[in-house]
Structure 1
Amino acid sequence: MLDANMKQQLGTYLQNIVNPIEITVSTNGNDKSAELLALAQDIESLNSSKITLITDENPSGRAPQMAISPKGEAPRVRFAGIPMGHEFTSLVLALLQAGGHPSKAAQDTLEQIKGLDSELNFEVYISLSCHNCPDVVQAVNLMAVLNPKITATMIDGALFQGEVDERNIMAVPSVYLNGEHFGQGRMTLDEILNKVDTGASDKQAAALSEKEAYDVLIVGGGPAGAAAAIYSARKGIRTGVVAERFGGQVSDTMAIENFISVKATDGPKLVAGLEQHVLEYDVDLMKTQKAVRLEKKEFVEVELENGAILKSKSVVLATGARWREMNVPGEQEYRGKGVAYCPHCDGPLFKGKKTAVIGGGNSGIEAAIDLAGIVEHVTVLEFGDTLRADDVLVKKAESLPNVSIIKNAMTTEVLGDDERVIGLKYTDRKTDESHLVDVAGIFVQIGLVPNSEFLKDTLELTNRGEIVVNGHGETSLPGVFAAGDVTTAPYKQIIVSMGSGATAALGAFDYLIRH
């Protein structure tokens, strides 16, 4: 199952197992069961003194399935499917953590998990090509390892299509807790904990409000925010970062091939590097916290969604942007039920079905090319009369037999049967004729919207919602700076955002010196 190189690497990791563990593989005689059993046998062979393999050929539950537990204990972590692809890391961490290898999570987070006093049964539906899914799987797995009242099961939707259809799952990761829908999309360990630990928000708000004023407070944890934090901290001033999601949109980006000096990487890997770099300095990083108000008083005050108020002598706003929505009837109703924004994550759920991509820029054409290898047919709808994507991408898409491109198409409605998408309507902008396209999935790729709504009565914004900044990153409010995709910076690129983050931090430092 594993090649020699992977065996060598995995074998090195598995030497970190402290206490004996058991792997129980449930099979049902099909090819996938044989693959999973072969994987388990490879794992056992790499550290047979600490790993015991048990097979169950007559399971009462899901199969194929791999359960992992400390020796002699009932399993609380399960993989229904073959945890390869993006989920291979989830498997390795589960093996190590079940064997007593410590997690890198913060100590207060670990204590919070251990203190949960409810029976929690998590089921996470994933696709192996989803780069957002492992974060959720690894979070609930860790919770299950640490707390005997918690169980966690990863379920590969491609192998358990009956469950996917029964629960009408059309986007991953989809999380169920005790049989009820709990959440969808990327979630961090802290976000999941705050959701199940009802008293956590009030405690966090009280603790955050007691913090001393910062010299520089960065709002946002994407490339611009990370760069601003590093440049501020290197000046030796008190620096804080408050972010709803560290990494921002970069976390949802797969192939990154234009980051200078790095030939190729992906979003999650880059985000991990950014966080590690930020934490090399004396930076107070506050994750899973959303800013809802900014006001200039004696200090600049930033109010968070949980009611906490942070104070700082200066602020750098780096809240980034989010995917633009179509804003047509049916879009919100069928979001997660056929309307999707991440082709890498949700594409495999539409295998063999007809889909549409809205948008003819690089993101849209790349999405069409990716989907073409999975789905029956892809229809690209572009509002303009020409495609905005790079020529090499356009030629590739046009060469694919199951990709159709329609220009001058204005999407007007998403159609559904109350449970899922069944089609869409568009108007030909040249003839004004309305057309119907039968599709099961619609992938929206039409650009970005700045995350600046909470600032509309505080700072000067453009009519598109971008924060107006000058060459030093200064906004219309003294002491408040901004950087990255939320600003009027003309090019929304990772490397440009990093540069503007550094500029804003240096501008804030200069402001502090002069004031």
Structure 2
Amino acid sequence: MYELIIIGGGPAGMTAAVYAARKQMKALMVMKEFGGQPMWTMDIENYMGYQFVTGPELMAKFDEQVQKFPIDIKYEEVTALAVLPDGSFTVTSDGGEYQAKTVIVASGKRPRRLEVPGELEFTGRGVSYCATCDGPLFAGKAVAVIGGGNSALQAAIEVSKVAAKVYLISLMNDYKADPIIIEKLKALQQPVTELIGYTTKAVKGSQAVEKLVIVKNGDSNEIELAVQGVFVEIGLMPNSEYCEGLLAFNEDREVIADCRTRTNIPGLFAAGDVNNGPDKQIVIAAGDGAKAALVAYEYLLHRRRAD
């Protein structure tokens, strides 16, 4: 049995692994994919110690540090989490079943879908959820970016460097983005066509994306934009399904945790974007991971004394 299982391999999970190793805890890290959300991010200018770094570069540094410690790592998707009668836990994945005295849920978030006709059909054939990953594939083409927050504006800025034309489509009547990012958008040499207050209705095409159908809010007249790429940047959903029925969720299905990452179950902690913390930043996720590992260690010490 492990002393700690960490679910997730993003900033929270990897930082938790380092802190657990430094406390000489017998730990396992289970992750579906390495790196988490930073792997989709090209420009990071607010992580301390780096004036500028790309997401993949930063996570490579995280990984380099984790690899210095004897942490067991499994690249598997967790499908269930359960509490045993003695207060320990079982983590079930698509590759096996593992037991631990404590668990840190650090499984992060995934892109939210539009849920419109054609979206699923053309995913990977013009519809993308990662401008950093797929932007270069649309060099010289017309694309649409859907969303009005930081990630959408950053995606529009990024793809404007390679695409022939970029539409930025926001459901909201105003952007919910940091002023500095809005300034960068307005300062682009190749202007982005901003369509504010529009709803996306459908994605159309034959073998690949050819058109995006939108309507002005309050209107019924459909507008078809000739595009070959659609980048969906409308927010994220927590990867918390395997905690269903066990942990308390808020209205956004984020795991409810206190300021020390403790959940409603003793010995079970939630760190990073999967929890209900108000701000989603890499530095905050990493801090959460460190905190969760230290609190888990403290929990085990108290448990041993009680035994």
TM-score range, shorter chain: over 0.9
CA shift digits 1:157-204 (9 cap, x unpaired): xxxxxxxxxxxxxxxxxxxxxxxxxxxxxxxxxxxxxxxxxxxxxxxx
Distance 1:227 1:401 in 2: 39
Residues 1:250 and 2:24 aligned together: no
- Answer with 1 or 2: which has the greater Rg: 1
CA shift digits 1:491-514 (9 cap, x unpaired): 111100011111111221122122
In structure 1, the partner of 2:292 is 504
Residues 1:490 and 2:259 aligned together: no
* Deviation at residue 432 of structure 1 after TM alignment: 4.3
Identity %: 37
CA shift digits 1:46-98 (9 cap, x unpaired): xxxxxxxxxxxxxxxxxxxxxxxxxxxxxxxxxxxxxxxxxxxxxxxxxxxxx
Q: Which amino acid aligns with 2:201?
A: T
Q: Which amino acid aligns with 2:69?
A: Y
In structure 2, the partner of 1:300 is 89
Q: Is the 8 A contact 2:43 2:54 kept in 1?
A: yes
Q: Which amino acid aligns with 2:202?
A: E
Distance 1:254 1:348 in 2: 12
Distance 1:294 1:401 in 2: 49
Residues 1:319 and 2:140 aligned together: no
Correspondence 1:264-279 to 2 at 5 A: 264-279=52-67
Distance 1:384 1:459 in 2: 32
In structure 2, the partner of 1:390 is 178
In structure 1, the partner of 2:223 is 435
* Deviation at residue 463 of structure 1 after TM alignment: 2.2
Residues 1:409 and 2:198 aligned together: yes
Residues 1:362 and 2:150 aligned together: yes
- Higher alpha-carbon deviation: 246-255 or 488-497: 246-255
Correspondence 1:438-477 to 2 at 5 A: 438-477=226-265
* Deviation at residue 402 of structure 1 after TM alignment: 4.5
- Higher alpha-carbon deviation: 423-432 or 466-475: 423-432
* Deviation at residue 435 of structure 1 after TM alignment: 2.1
Unmatched 5+ stretches in structure 2: none
Residues 1:222 and 2:2 aligned together: no
* Deviation at residue 361 of structure 1 after TM alignment: 1.8
Correspondence 1:54-203 to 2 at 5 A: none
TM-score normalised by L of structure 2: 0.92
Query: How well do the aligned residues superpose, as a CA RMSD in angstroms?
Result: 1.6
Distance 1:233 1:445 in 2: 36
How many residue pairs get aligned? The number is: 300
The secondary structure found in structure 2 opposite 1:265 is: coil
Distance 1:372 1:264 in 2: 20
Distance 2:98 2:271 in 1: 20
Unmatched 5+ stretches in structure 1: 1-212
Distance 1:446 1:510 in 2: 38
* Deviation at residue 455 of structure 1 after TM alignment: 1.2
Distance 2:61 2:51 in 1: 15
The secondary structure found in structure 1 opposite 2:81 is: strand
Taking a change above 3 Å as real, the CA distance of residues 277 and 355 of structure 1, as seen in their structure-2 partners, is same
Distance 1:268 1:401 in 2: 27
CA shift digits 1:267-302 (9 cap, x unpaired): 22221211221222232222x211100010132000
The secondary structure found in structure 1 opposite 2:213 is: strand
TM-score normalised by L of structure 1: 0.56
Give the counterpart of 1:237 among 17, 21, 25.
Answer: 25
Q: Which amino acid aligns with 2:83?
A: K
Give the counterpart of 1:289 among 45, 51, 76.
Answer: 76
CA shift digits 1:249-272 (9 cap, x unpaired): 222222211111222222222212
Distance 2:20 2:141 in 1: 50
Q: Is the 8 A contact 1:219 1:318 kept in 2?
A: yes
Q: Is the 8 A contact 1:398 1:404 kept in 2?
A: no
* Deviation at residue 339 of structure 1 after TM alignment: 0.5
The secondary structure found in structure 2 opposite 1:498 is: helix
More helix by share: 1
Q: Is the 8 A contact 1:411 1:427 kept in 2?
A: yes
Q: Is the 8 A contact 1:376 1:402 kept in 2?
A: no
In structure 2, the partner of 1:333 is 121
Distance 1:376 1:230 in 2: 44
Q: Which amino acid aligns with 1:237?
A: M
Distance 2:259 2:45 in 1: 28
